[in-house]
A and B are shown apart, each in its own frame.
Chain A
Amino acid sequence: MYTISKNLKLTAIILMVVGAIGLIYGFINVPSSVEEVHEILASSDAHGHADEAHAHDDEHAEHVFHQLQNKPWASIYTAALFFFLIAAGALAFYAIQNAAQAGWSPILFRVMEGISAYIFPGGVIVFVLLVLSSLHLNHLFIWMDADVVAHDEIIANKTGYLNIPFFLIRAAIYIVGWAFFYSRLRKNSIKLDEGFDPALFKKNFKLSAGFLVFFIVTESMLSWDFIMSIDTHWFSTLFGWFVFASMFVSGITVIALVTLYLKSKGYLEQVNNSHIHDLAKFMFGISIFWEYLWFSQFLLIWYANIPEEAVYYVQRIEQYPLLFFGTFFLNFLLPMLILINTEFKRIPWIVSLAGVIILVGHYINFYVMIMPGTVGESWSFGAAEIGSVLLIGGLFLYVIFNALTKAPLVAKNFPLLKESKHFHY
């Protein structure tokens, strides 16, 4: 049995407290009126358009005011969604290993289950944020604003899908559905520890296959709802896959990092460097898959340059150039060059380094997907953004390591376990 170390618990709690303080500071720091924004704009050199009409200035200040109001909301939303989808990515990986009857990975099943345990708390946080949005406490989703919809024919035509009750029902179905599959899989997996029963193994196989079908449909719709609908005027067909690649590679990376951590602490002795090598191969391959989708989406829109689609990238390239192109280096080029070598994929510190790069890169990927539609050019990395990541990240760490203490770190009696223990590549 694994026991959570005091240091880790303390680290998680400190992260949560510091993050909460940062986030609260971010909320307090929001300008309370348009006049305040006027003063901010007047004092900054970048906006010294003294000759421009006053009415235009007013409009601009109001625009910036709404963006700044959105900023702490958007940052907590980005962080909450990112960590929630990491847990979902880990569960998808777990289900794939189960359904494919992989022989190398059963020794890591409990690690995957531990990470997936964050699905329920993480999903609740995301859902609460969506409910707050639909109560008009923030303006993350412009289609929730009845005033905007009334004057916007394009959004008005989408209200059949994008309306608050239906939106919340869908969100609940995704989150409850995933949590349901997770709890069933976990329950059967723990029951298998008591004694081998072929029926339980078969049940988990079928559950995993069913989950994967349910998952790919709901994940695709989740990406339209939770992320794409922020840019309500824009649409892209491969968006669901794009989000999936991002969460999947992040999930695998977290599995690798947690495995390396537990192994370095002396748990998981039977995990050898071939297991690490396989995880690193997945990180490498799915990073390239992510890049393939990132580029395909960009290339098709850039090439045809249809204004209604291209505006999405125009805004990102003009306002977020470093972050937008930075994801290319963090999520593709660096992991590819680091992890292409067979020997490197077996060395813990190199895999950890690549893992941290990938996680930072995919957080930025989510940031670039969510921020332009909510805070536009008023983005910055301040207390709210860093605080949100620390707050949710601390909670994530606490939940997953707490879940790891609930069951033995290596499943007993799993039919493919012996093969997994002797796995060598």
Chain B
Amino acid sequence: MASKVLNVFYKDDDILMEAVKKVQSKNYRIEEVFCPFPVHGLDKLLKVKHTRLAITSFLYGLVGISVALTMMNYIMIIDWPQNIGGKPSFSLIENLPSFIPTAFEMTVFFAAHLMVITFYMRSKLWPFKKAENPDPRTTDDHFLMQVSVGNNDIQEVAEFLNTTGAVEIDLKK
């Protein structure tokens, strides 16, 4: 049984936040909210789980520093330990200061880029992807809340939503 979903439009983020609270108090299910800009506190209200992107970034950073040190240890110390200007290439630790700038940059490089790619993959963003927003106005000046009707009477839900300050209510096609 495919549940019907209503597209509810708002013109103001404060009204939207209030509407979200009201809809939640009625125990209607909010499927998705589309906003033209980040609305502070909306994620908390919708109980969106806290992102774990920062943790992945930290782990990618550890990968980066490992790659850098392994690479330089192999190239500069193990494979061909030349005497370059008197630098001590007998062991990694003796020559470590000269490797730190590279190790630092590699850490940042891995942490940043792999995290961004993780973000793209998790949020399913890529070039030539078909845009998912149900109405182009949501990228300009309208806020859209999608409420699923469930087993309730569609008229009753729409009338309730109308009291929350909605400027337009459509049935999702």
Task: Please list the residues of chain A having a beta carbon within 8 angstroms of any beta carbon in chain B.
Answer: 295, 298-299, 302-303, 305, 340, 342
The verdict on B98 contacting chain A, using a C-beta distance below 8 Å, is: yes
Contacts of A340 in B (CB 8 A): 58
The verdict on B97 contacting chain A, using a C-beta distance below 8 Å, is: yes
Instruction: Count residues of chain B with CB under 8 A from any CB of chain A.
Output: 7
Q: Are B100 and A295 in contact (CB under 8 A)?
A: yes
Contacts of A303 in B (CB 8 A): 97-98
CB distance from A104 to the nearest CB of B (A): 16
A252 to B50, CA, bound (A): 29
Task: Please list the residues of chain B having a beta carbon within 8 angstroms of any beta carbon in chain A.
Answer: 54, 58, 86, 97-98, 100-101
CB distance from A328 to the nearest CB of B (A): 11
A299 to B98, CA, bound (A): 7
CB distance from A297 to the nearest CB of B (A): 11
A sample of 10 cross-chain residue pairs with beta-carbon separation below 8 angstroms, ordered by A number, consists of: A295-B97, A298-B97, A299-B97, A299-B98, A299-B100, A299-B101, A302-B97, A303-B97, A305-B86, A342-B54
Looking at chain A's contact residues, the main secondary structure is helix
A399 to B86, CA, bound (A): 53
Contacts of B100 in A (CB 8 A): 295, 299
- 9 closest A-B pairs by beta carbon, nearest first, are A299-B97, A302-B97, A303-B98, A295-B100, A298-B97, A303-B97, A299-B100, A340-B58, A305-B86
Contacts of A302 in B (CB 8 A): 97
Closest A residue, CB atoms, query B101: A299
CB distance from A281 to the nearest CB of B (A): 14
A372 to B48, CA, bound (A): 56
A295 to B58, CA, bound (A): 22
CB distance from A287 to the nearest CB of B (A): 15
CB distance from A230 to the nearest CB of B (A): 25
A340 to B54, CA, bound (A): 10
Contacts of A305 in B (CB 8 A): 86
A299 to B97, CA, bound (A): 6
Given A303-B98, A342-B54: 11 more A-B contacts, CB < 8 Å: A295-B97, A295-B100, A298-B97, A299-B97, A299-B98, A299-B100, A299-B101, A302-B97, A303-B97, A305-B86, A340-B58
